[in-house]
Amino acid sequence: MADCRIRSLHDVQWVRECGIQTVEGPHHMKALSHLVAIFLATALLSVRPCLAADRTIARKLYVANTAGDTLSVIDLERQTVAGEIQIGKHPHGLALSPDQRRIYCSVESERTIKFLDTGTDKIVAAVPTTGVPNQLAATPDGHWVYVAINDKGTADVIDARQAKVARTLDIGGRPHNCYCPQGARHMYVTSIRDHLVKQFDFARDHALRQTVRFDGAVRPLCITRDEKRLFVALEGLHGFAWADLTTGQQSGRMEQPLPPPEKRSKFAYMNTHGLELRPGDRELWVTSFIGNGLMVYNITGERPSYVSTVAVGDAPNWLTFSPDGNYAYSANAGANSITIVNCQTRMAVTEIKVGPVPKRLLEVHVPVSQ
């Protein structure tokens, strides 16, 4: 079949290939131009449905490019970058509303949380924060978004329905991360300097319920859906620590040997950073930031047990999972890429280039009504 893509109006040979009969000679050019105009109008009308279909991506991966000013949007079906969203310099954190209609992005340079419509990828609201915002998380009822304010020792609580800060909570030195499991009754916020995690009851006036202290500076965290176990990355530890939330006490720590010097990332500035529970709460995956891998642990027993390490790109410092737990996604800060990992085979599937120094990332299934 002939290639009938839009080209120059003066390409007579192309017009012939597309089935239009022409006659040579300058006196026929006016008629030819008229014919081509009709043909192009028909062609454009015929491709509009295709363009609309291309814009509808069922499964997206949003990636915050922290050294730039964009979010990369990856079409997970095609495993390609579908576009870049201008969001503001130094986007830090990402959170998702329970109905998956909104992405919340913290933008450090503007001290703002931006609300993004996942159906259109347009910014629909911007909420000023009380300081420099870091990672954030939404409550399961969709009402609240907690944001760690790193330079103030606090966390802002945003009313997502009214798009404004409703109150500010005391946390401790250098708050950095927020986390709320699906279906949970509490929000958790970390303090790096004070080595702690605070638990808040968001349904009861954001009351502080307990403070869990660790033997190191707390970085990212994750919590089981039953809210019985809390896992954290600690500075200087190539592994993780965990606590029993029924007692509020640290239970232990687990560490893997560092890779040999020649195999260490030249970009990494700490041993590990991101960690997350694979859906089902049977496995904990931890980034080996310095070792260019994802460390997998079985957590079904009384103590976690190491399983294996999956090789990914340079300096993975964050990860997330598909909702069904079949795939993991690592943000490779040293390679400006993300790696898609098959969780069953524990093998990398592909690596996709994104923007500068990617970190937080989230898979979104856009609601059909959008």
pLDDT at residue 57, rounded to an integer: 87
Same domain, 49 and 65: no
Same domain, 299 and 252: yes
33 within a domain of the structure (yes/no): yes
286 within a domain of the structure (yes/no): yes
Same domain, 297 and 162: yes
Same domain, 194 and 127: yes
Give the Cα separation of 302 and 304 in Å (integer): 7
Same domain, 33 and 74: no
Give the Cα separation of 207 and 170 in Å (integer): 11
Q: What's the number of domains the chain is made of?
A: 2
Same domain, 20 and 100: no
Half-sphere exposure of 167 (CA within 13 A, CB side): 8
Q: Alpha-carbon Rg of the chain, whole angstroms? A: 25
pLDDT at residue 361, rounded to an integer: 98
CB atoms within 10 A of CB 314: 16
Same domain, 163 and 37: no
Alpha-helical runs (H) found in the chain: 12-17, 29-55
Query: What single-letter amino acid sits at 49?
Result: P
3 state DSSP class of 50: helix
Same domain, 20 and 85: no
275-277 sheet: strands from edge to edge: 275-277, 283-288, 293-298, 305-311
For 28, the token pair is 């026929």
pLDDT at residue 56, rounded to an integer: 74
Whether the Cβ atoms of residue 176 and residue 219 lie closer than 8 Å to each other:
yes
Same domain, 98 and 159: yes
Per-residue pLDDT of the chain (370 residues; tens, 9 = 90+): 333 333 333 333 333 333 333 334 444 444 444 433 433 333 333 333 332 344 578 899 999 999 999 999 999 999 999 999 999 999 999 999 999 999 999 999 999 999 999 999 999 999 999 999 999 999 999 999 999 999 999 999 999 999 999 999 999 999 999 999 999 999 999 999 999 999 999 999 999 999 999 999 999 999 999 999 999 999 999 999 999 999 999 999 999 999 999 999 999 999 999 999 999 999 999 999 999 999 999 999 999 999 999 999 999 999 999 999 999 999 999 999 999 999 999 999 999 999 999 999 999 999 876 4
118 within a domain of the structure (yes/no): yes
Provide the domain limits for residue 321. Answer: 60-365
4 within a domain of the structure (yes/no): no
Same domain, 140 and 47: no
pLDDT at residue 26, rounded to an integer: 42
pLDDT at residue 325, rounded to an integer: 98
Nearest 5°: CA angle at 334, between 356 and 218? 100
pLDDT at residue 30, rounded to an integer: 43
3 state DSSP class of 171: coil
Task: Report the first-to-last Cα separation within the chain, whole angstroms.
Answer: 36
- Nearest residue to 313 (alpha-carbon basis) of 275, 279, 341: 341
Please report the DSSP string for 244-310 in residue order: ETTTTEEEEEEE-PPPPGGGS-SS-SSS---EEEPTTTSEEEEEETTTTEEEEEE-SSSS-EEEEEE
3 state DSSP class of 52: helix
* CATH number, domain with residue 164: 2.130.10.10
318 within a domain of the structure (yes/no): yes
Same domain, 166 and 45: no
